[in-house]
């Protein structure tokens, strides 16, 4: 059976390159101007992208002098973007570490209703120590414990989203019955981290539950994704690693009784696109030269839990031994592993590594023509490395406009990407079934094909 290529637009600041804000192709609008995000969402919708995605940052960090910061809070942004669009999926990040299940469940259920069934939740456990200090936690929670807490969190929110049967609302004005209380369930969850009575205080959303997205790629993160995720945003710098991740995640899902087609793997791709390869490489160099090495060093340190790299010179050739073992890192273990694998494979200088990470923070970056970018996408898609891509334009909107105008038509000519939408919900776009309620399974709306 033919597979559909899935494309998501990841909207970050004025682009994913840390120097994007300085480039003339970047938006002149403030990062607090909702029209910027609405315009990008409408452009992605016109190109029939599956969804747009906003990450979240729970701490400012020390980069604001040289990196564009201050993007709007993502959940409220989705609500505003929902009213400016009609079909495109809307995904926002929210942390299981620093919110409560009840609040999160009602926020995402509300946006699912507002958007007509287009919302997705990117589940993160938040590893930044600065974020903990903003929420009154002086000590960072260990990696495995964050995921154990997230498992309990997911158990609660799924119960909350399922606590109303699809037919619970009667709205019987003549009979005087608004809802059938027998079709609304209090469940009294008593877990290791959360005690929640339920039910949710609004009806079940059009999709039943928001689409569940996850981005962790450590062993613990893969296990979590296999249990819960329906789409996985992941970072790989070369195809072989992406193929291994794709196969492993599908196998893990199958082993616990899930249909592997119901978990999509979407690696990040950050393409610099120009008419010739030389021109694209020149543009990439220009962006890299606009970066501040101190910012890159601070970001590298954060990836390794605060490790001090200041003793290394910028033109020193790196060794794996210059880095902590990723398995010992209590921050983002999977991203630390990607970086050390790159160092082992390419032996870059520190300056070259910082330039590589400045483009997309450890995601796959390339510079080339539209044909070259489309060829990479097709190759990864057809050889078991990806079910689609999380598109991360280095400069917004200029390089997203180039992707839509030049790359998407090539993908369509090759029969890989849709001409338009065939459904109305995010689950429709992704080919995901609508989940039955665990409390009222007989009332579930027919699953999407």
Within a domain: residue 297? no
Question: Over the stretch 43-96, which tens digit does the pLDDT of each residue have?
Answer: 999 999 999 999 988 777 767 777 788 899 999 999 999 999 999 999 999 999
Count: domains in the chain = 1
Question: Over the stretch 7-29, which tens digit does the pLDDT of each residue have?
Answer: 999 999 999 998 899 999 999 99
Within a domain: residue 28? yes
* Cα–Cα dist 29/275, whole Å: 27
* Cα–Cα dist 317/319, whole Å: 7
Q: What is the mean pLDDT of the chain?
A: 90
Within a domain: residue 399? yes
Q: Is the pLDDT score of 443 beyond 60?
A: no
**Region 202-224: what's the mean pLDDT?**
93
* Structural domain that includes position 50: 6-274+363-443
* Cα–Cα dist 292/358, whole Å: 10
Within a domain: residue 349? no
pLDDT band at 330 (very low <50, low <70, confident <90, very high): low
Q: Is the pLDDT score of 349 beyond 90?
A: no
Alpha helices in 183-306 (DSSP H): 219-228, 239-255, 277-289, 293-303
pLDDT band at 139 (very low <50, low <70, confident <90, very high): low
Highest-scoring range by mean pLDDT, 24-38, 299-313, 318-332, 431-445: 24-38
Q: Is the pLDDT score of 333 beyond 70?
A: no
* Cα–Cα dist 53/74, whole Å: 9
Cα dihedral value 341, 144, 257, 154, nearest 10? -120
361 alpha-carbon distance from chain centroid: 13
pLDDT at 89: 98
pLDDT at 170: 97
Helix (H, G, I), strand (E, B) or coil at 325: coil
Closest C-alpha to 150, from 128, 130, 123 = 123
Q: Give binding residues for FMN as ranges.
A: 56, 93, 143, 147, 217-218
CB 204 within 8 A of CB 193: no
pLDDT at 316: 85
**80/2: higher pLDDT:** 80
**333/420: higher pLDDT:** 420
* Cα–Cα dist 45/61, whole Å: 32
pLDDT at 32: 97
Within a domain: residue 309? no
**Cβ neighbours of residue 240 under 8 Å, at least 6 residues apart?**
none
Q: Is the pLDDT score of 277 beyond 50?
A: yes
- Cα–Cα distance list, 131 to 11, 97, 148, 215, 435 (Å): 21, 10, 19, 18, 33
pLDDT band at 144 (very low <50, low <70, confident <90, very high): confident
**Region 359-384: what's the mean pLDDT?**
92
pLDDT at 299: 75
**Region 260-280: what's the mean pLDDT?**
97
Helix (H, G, I), strand (E, B) or coil at 169: strand
Closest C-alpha to 434, from 77, 112, 83 = 112
Within a domain: residue 121? yes
pLDDT band at 314 (very low <50, low <70, confident <90, very high): confident
* Cα–Cα dist 46/323, whole Å: 44
- CATH label of the domain that carries residue 60: 3.20.20.30
Within a domain: residue 16? yes
Within a domain: residue 151? yes
**Cβ neighbours of residue 324 under 8 Å, at least 6 residues apart?**
304, 305, 307, 336
pLDDT at 1: 59
């Amino acid at each position: 059976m033919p597979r559909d290529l899935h494309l998501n637009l990841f909207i970050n600041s004025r682009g994913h390159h840390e120097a994007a804000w300085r480039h003339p192709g970047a938006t002149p609008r403030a990062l607090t101007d909702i029209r910027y995000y609405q315009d990008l969402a409408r452009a992605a919708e016109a190109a029939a992208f599956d969804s747009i995605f906003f990450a979240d940052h729970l701490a400012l960090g020390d980069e604001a002098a040289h990196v564009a910061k201050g993007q709007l809070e993502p959940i409220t942004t989705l609500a505003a973007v929902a009213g400016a669009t009609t079909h495109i999926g809307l995904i926002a990040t929210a942390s299981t570490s620093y919110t409560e299940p009840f609040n999160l469940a009602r926020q995402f259920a509300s946006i699912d209703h507002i958007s007509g069934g287009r919302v997705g939740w990117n589940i993160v456990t938040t590893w930044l120590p600065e974020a903990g200090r903003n929420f009154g936690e002086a000590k960072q929670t260990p990696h495995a414990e964050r995921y154990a807490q997230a498992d309990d969190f997911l158990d609660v929110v799924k119960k909350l989203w399922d606590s109303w049967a699809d037919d619970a609302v009667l709205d019987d004005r003549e009979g005087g019955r608004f809802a059938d209380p027998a079709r609304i369930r209090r469940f009294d969850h008593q877990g290791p981290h959360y005690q929640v009575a339920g039910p949710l205080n609004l009806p079940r959303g059009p999709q039943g539950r928001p689409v569940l997205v996850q981005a962790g790629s450590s062993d613990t993160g893969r296990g979590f994704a296999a249990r819960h995720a329906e789409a996985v945003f992941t970072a790989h710098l070369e195809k072989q690693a992406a193929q291994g991740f794709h196969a492993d995640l599908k196998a893990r899902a199958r082993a616990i009784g899930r249909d592997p087609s119901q978990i999509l793997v979407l690696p990040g791709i950050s393409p610099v696109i120009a008419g010739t390869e030389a021109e694209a490489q020149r543009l990439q160099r220009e962006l890299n030269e606009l970066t501040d090495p101190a910012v890159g060093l601070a970001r590298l340190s954060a990836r390794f839990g605060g490790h001090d790299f200041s003793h290394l010179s910028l033109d020193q050739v790196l060794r794996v031994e210059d880095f902590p073992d990723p398995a010992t890192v209590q921050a983002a273990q999977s991203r630390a592993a990607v970086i050390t694998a790159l160092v082992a494979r390419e032996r870059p200088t520190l300056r070259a590594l910082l330039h590589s990470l400045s483009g997309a923070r450890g995601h796959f970056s390339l510079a080339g023509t539209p044909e070259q970018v489309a060829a990479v996408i097709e190759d990864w898609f057809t050889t078991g490395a990806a079910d689609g891509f999380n598109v991360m334009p280095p400069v917004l909107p200029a390089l997203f406009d180039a992707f839509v105008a030049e790359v998407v038509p090539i993908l369509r000519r090759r029969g890989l990407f849709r001409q338009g939408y065939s459904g109305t919900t995010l689950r429709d776009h992704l080919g995901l079934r609508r989940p039955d309620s665990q409390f009222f399974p007989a009332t579930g709306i027919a699953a999407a094909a």
